[in-house]
Amino acid sequence: MADVSFSLRAEHLLQEILAHMEDCEELDDFDMDIVDGVLTLEFDDSSQIIVNRQEPLEQIWVASPLGPAHFAFDSTRDDWFDDKTGEPIYDPLEQALTTKLGKPVSLL
């Protein structure tokens, strides 16, 4: 990451995801926040979606009811992509929210 450090890029992503979640009316009744670089969304049944940065690996990790996923920044595409599936970060987040809530959820 030449021009922008991983820490700044990761913090920006966490803030962006939180803003999209806060703007999503399907998520109005759920608690969500960022504390010490960890974004947590908690559901009524106490299950969670957790998005956090992994500094040594320069990755963003997502833990959701669908399982774990790891994302790295691709500077040529200017986005975060799953290191196994190649999906951009918002795709599995939306899938997890849609599965959990039982109705389509769009964050973008």
Over the stretch 34-88, which tens digit does the pLDDT of each residue have? Answer: 999 999 999 989 999 999 999 999 999 999 999 999 999 999 999 999 999 999 9
pTM, full prediction: 0.92
In degrees and rounded to multiples of 5, residue 91 shows phi and psi of -60, -55
Q: What pLDDT was estimated at residue 1? A: 39
Q: What pLDDT was estimated at residue 4? A: 78
Q: What pLDDT was estimated at residue 66? A: 92
Contact call for residues 32 and 40 (beta carbons, < 8 A): yes
Residue 89, number of CB atoms within 10 A of its CB: 22
What domains lie within the chain, and their CATH numbers?
6-101 (3.30.920.10)
How far apart, in whole angstroms, are the C-alpha atoms of residue 46 and residue 36?
20
How far apart, in whole angstroms, are the C-alpha atoms of residue 55 and residue 82?
16
Contact call for residues 6 and 55 (beta carbons, < 8 A): yes
Q: What pLDDT was estimated at residue 95? A: 97
Confidence grade of residue 3 (pLDDT, cut at 50, 70, 90): low
Flag whether pLDDT at 2 surpasses 60.
no
